[in-house]
Amino acid sequence: MRNAKPDTMQAAAIDRFGGAELVTVRAVPVPEVGPSDVLIRVEVAGVASWDALEREGLYDGAFGMPSTFPYVLGWDCAGAVVAVGSQVSRFKEGDRVYAASMPLPKGGTYATYAVTDADNVSLIPAKLTIEQAGVMGWDALTALSGLEEIGLKQGDTMMIFGASGGIGHMAIQNDWAPAYWRWLRAMTAWRYRSGWAPTPSSTGARTTWSRPLVNSPPAASALPLSQ
């Protein structure tokens, strides 16, 4: 391993699967950094609906990885590289990175530090804040994999249900595939205005989309797509 790492860290962990009352913050050892690993000092950790399922044990033994306790929750994060394994050349100490993996065999991201394989890590693009990078990992990957799975072609028509949600709002952004979408349907968090101009009801959302966004089933049923 190149660069030194601390011995202990603070983490939100559980000693058995169950309810939220089992989560406590305590000192735990910093995971060992393997030859292909990256150690990240976590500045932002994503919080998602599946965290509750993980806490309750739904992913126990997933991908052939046995669960060990104390069990640190969290699947994605962003921060600065503290140390890298001997086989890692893409990253160096101080790099601003974000990472996503499910679950992390050496402990989750609800901690001061997180360790994961370098294949799960990327440099943060200049246009992204660390807060954006830290919470977008799994939502963005899920959206992208879905779009790739259905094999869209230019000019195809598709409808996204829940387009204002964590995964849906990633799927509709112009940067993904601007030629793909003509009709979009959002069930929450968006208000329809004339001229197909969306008005976000929460801060930080983009306002440059030119595709239609519809906020209610009655309005959506009037679209040609629903006939």
The 10s digit of each residue's pLDDT in 106-159 is 889 999 999 999 998 999 988 889 998 888 887 877 777 777 787 777 677 777
Confidence tier at 200 by pLDDT (50, 70, 90): very low
Domain of 94, CATH number, reads 3.90.180.10
Q: pTM, whole model, 2 decimals?
A: 0.72
Nearest by Cα to 136 from 110, 100, 162: 100
Q: Measure the CA–CA gap between 217 and 162, rounded to whole angstroms.
A: 12
Domain containing residue 218? 152-226
Statement: residue 46 has pLDDT above 80: yes
Tens of pLDDT, residue by residue over 173-196, are: 644 444 333 333 332 233 333 233
Distance of CA 174 to the CA centre of its chain: 19
Tally of domains within the chain: 2
187 assigned to some structural domain = yes
53 assigned to some structural domain = yes
Q: Measure the CA–CA gap between 107 and 68, rounded to whole angstroms.
A: 9
